[in-house]
Structure 1
Amino acid sequence: MKKLVQAFIIVFFLLGTIGNVQAEKNPKENAYKIPESVLNIAKENTYPNPTQDLPYLQPSDFTQNLLESSKVRIENPDLIRMLNESSVNKTPFALGLRATIYLGEWPLYYESTETAPNWEYQKINTNFYDNRGGKSPYQMHYVQEAQKVVRGGLTAKVANADDVMKMMMLKASEKSKLPLAFETIVGAGTKKDQIYNIPTKRLGYLYAFAPAINEKGKVTYGEVYIVLKGHKRQVVVKNVTTQGIGAWIPVQDHISFTFVSSERPK
């Protein structure tokens, strides 16, 4: 009987250890979990925001061969799109062909080092009610008083900023699984049925915030050339540089609420 109890304790300890290890393996997933104070307003929003999905652009066979020939990684969707629209035909007279085509300096890829949510990135609304003279609790609801435009952006000036922003948003969306956009709008009159009770003899404040992702990482630039030697075609990247960059990217159609009840005005 004693051995059976000891075996049970060992098994229980091992199960608890495994559970702790699994919880420690996914700390990032918990960081992106939407808190209960954050509500989705996509259906209620009086301003219909367009979706900002940026699907990964599939390279053509020609482009894929070029990308594989490069010693530097290339993930820029606009550069891949340009290569997809290009072609070099093989001919029996190409044996002596020599050509170098300069495509310009491009941001080649973005490497993410940190993706952190800020659920109270920007205050967009305050609802207020004075129930100090009331005889019963007052039920407050969220109502957006004025249209609010919430913009994100890069934290520093970089070359080819639009390309960099696209790559950063792709990485941030992939890691966080949240609907992101560099601009999102909350329309006037947007409402939510969530109830916040204001007791008698107190004032109620309902603050609404737009959440956002703080994305940080490094972007790699390089001068891109297509080199033709007979039937051989390859991409050569020269003068490679790396620059640190950050960005704020709002979470689309989501609002974080904070309710405060007090005896005195704030």
Structure 2
Amino acid sequence: MKFFRFAMIAVFIFSFCIPINSFASIENPKEKINIPSSVISITKENTYPNPTQDLPSLQPSELTQELLDTSKVKIENPHLIRMLNESSFNKSPFSIGLRATIYLGEWPLNYESTETVPNWEYQKINTNYHDNRGGEANFQLHYVQETQKTIKGGLTAKVPNADDVQKMMMIKAGEKTNVPLAFSTTIGAGTKKNQTYNVPPNRLGYLYAYAPAINEKGKITYGEVYIVFKGWKRYIVTKNVTSQGIGAWIPIQDHVSFGFLTSGQQR
């Protein structure tokens, strides 16, 4: 009986010693943003074929991973990883006395996301209108894109190596939101959707279409990158490491957000 009591107490204490994060990782998988019903995909209907902007994380080679593991600062820049993947450094018995340092330049090393917020009405792209003040029945209004619209995002500040920074920000934002992202996307003229919006008699109907976007904010880390050779040893050294805040607007590709209203007077 005493052993049973001791065992129960031990289990009770142990349960409170387990880190809370271990439960959170099981019960709360990576959260995705909830897309409202007013936001609709037009991937199939879009008369302008947008190119796919998927940016999967580049897998480092065995040698590259060996080098990355030696860096005291995390390196996630796909451009730099690709360059290291394309390099080769052979170990040789004649390299015992080798001493060399290769400067690779200053690079954006990694991006840390702190906030990812959608704006479903980032940019107005179309208005469909019908005057039903003389009508006796509901008029069914549909979305038809009247002119071609290109929606562009971008960084909120000028930074070195902006293209690399944009790629890292888009990768992180895509992982957190699970929506297709692109810094430039186009809605073609004549794009249609079959959703019906009823305009009652004696009313005017307005169907507004908006391009949604993600507002991504975080911190970018820069540093000078060196590869150092000492005999058979090879490792990465980063110097003059700095960090700064950065933000970006990234449009959601091939999606439209709708807003519908009726009025007794012209707006």
Structures share a fold, TM > 0.5?
A: yes
The aligned counterpart of 2:245 is 244
The aligned counterpart of 1:29 is 31
Q: Distance in 2 between matches of 1:246 and 1:28?
A: 22
What letter is aligned with 2:49? P
The aligned counterpart of 1:42 is 43
> What's the C-alpha RMSD, in Å, of the aligned pairs?
1.5
Q: Distance in 2 between matches of 1:33 and 1:137?
A: 32
The aligned counterpart of 1:155 is 156
Q: TM-score scaled to structure 2, two decimals?
A: 0.89
The aligned counterpart of 2:134 is 133
Report matched runs for 1:1-266 at 5 Å. Answer: 29=31, 32-266=33-267
Q: Distance in 1 between matches of 2:102 and 2:30?
A: 43
What letter is aligned with 1:58? Q
Q: Distance in 1 between matches of 2:88 and 2:238?
A: 19
Per-residue CA deviations over 1:164-223 (Å, capped at 9, x if unaligned) read 000000000000011111011000000000000000111000000000000000000000
Identity across the alignment (%): 73
Shift of 1:29: 3.5
Shift of 1:27: 11
Deviant stretches of 4+, over 2 Å: 25-30
With over 3 angstroms needed to count, the CA separation of the structure-2 counterparts of 1:143 and 1:26, relative to structure 1, is farther
Q: Distance in 2 between matches of 1:113 and 1:55?
A: 20
SS for the counterpart of 1:168 is helix
SS for the counterpart of 2:136 is coil
SS for the counterpart of 2:176 is helix
Which runs of 5 or more residues in structure 1 are unaligned? 1-21
With over 3 angstroms needed to count, the CA separation of the structure-2 counterparts of 1:202 and 1:26, relative to structure 1, is farther
Q: Distance in 1 between matches of 2:196 and 2:70?
A: 60
With over 3 angstroms needed to count, the CA separation of the structure-2 counterparts of 1:40 and 1:62, relative to structure 1, is same
